[in-house]
């Protein structure tokens, strides 16, 4: 994906998409690259609040680059398709902790993050907004 925007202000990024609360994941893709290491790409149907007078559903392509560690636990009783409680982002000694599995607190330790059903530790976050596409 070309023309990705680098996220520098995590709070502003999350607020733009209402913290991704009640968003629907279309896909998770893990890519192994030579230059950037592991990249976790997530395609998410979500609301875009960049124009608060004209909130619309969009498809956000979110790319977690330089992934040090990630976890996606999926079962019949636990699905990571709907991000009910939103995405949380915290910085840890050189890494960005991204939690999207419903951890109840907005602050968490690295151990808390690792206990989440959906998380990643990465070096950077990039994204691109695309037109809304209904999930299959």
Assigned domain for 90 exists: yes
Confidence check: pLDDT of 28 > 70 = yes
Q: Are 90 and 69 in contact (CB under 8 A)?
A: no
Assigned domain for 122 exists: yes
User: For the stretch 86-107, what's the b/e string if a residue is b when 16 or more beta carbons lie within 10 angstroms of its beta carbon?
Assistant: bbbbbeeeebbbbbbbbbeeee
CB-based contacts of 99-107 (< 8 A; 24+ apart in sequence): 100/20, 100/42, 101/73
Residue 105 sits in which domain range?
5-131
Assigned domain for 79 exists: yes
Domain count, the chain: 1
Distance (Å, whole) CA 58 – CA 8 = 21
* Residues in CB range of 11: below 8 A, 6 or more apart: none
Mean pLDDT of 2-22: 93
Assigned domain for 17 exists: yes
pLDDT tens digit sequence for 39-58: 999 999 999 999 989 999 99
Distance (Å, whole) CA 62 – CA 98 = 11
Distance (Å, whole) CA 118 – CA 134 = 23
pLDDT tens digit sequence for 81-118: 889 889 999 998 889 999 998 776 767 788 888 988 99
Beta bridge partners of 85: none
Q: With pLDDT > 90 as the criterion, what percentage of the chain qualifies?
A: 68
Assigned domain for 18 exists: yes
Assigned domain for 13 exists: yes
Assigned domain for 58 exists: yes
pLDDT tens digit sequence for 70-83: 999 888 877 778 89
Mean pLDDT of 110-136: 90
Assigned domain for 136 exists: no
């Amino acid at each position: 994906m070309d023309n990705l925007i680098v996220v520098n202000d995590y709070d502003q990024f999350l607020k733009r998409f209402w913290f991704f609360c009640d968003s629907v994941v279309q896909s998770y893709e893990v890519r192994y690259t030579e230059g950037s290491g592991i990249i976790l790409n997530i395609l998410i149907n979500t609301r875009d609040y960049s124009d608060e007078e004209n909130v619309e559903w969009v498809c956000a392509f979110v790319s977690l680059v330089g992934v040090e560690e990630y976890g996606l636990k999926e079962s019949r009783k636990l699905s990571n398709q709907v991000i009910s409680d939103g995405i949380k982002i915290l910085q840890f000694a050189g890494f960005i902790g991204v939690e999207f599995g419903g951890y109840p607190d907005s602050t968490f330790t690295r151990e808390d993050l690792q206990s989440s059903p959906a998380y990643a530790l990465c070096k950077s976050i990039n994204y691109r907004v695309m037109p809304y596409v209904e999930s299959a």
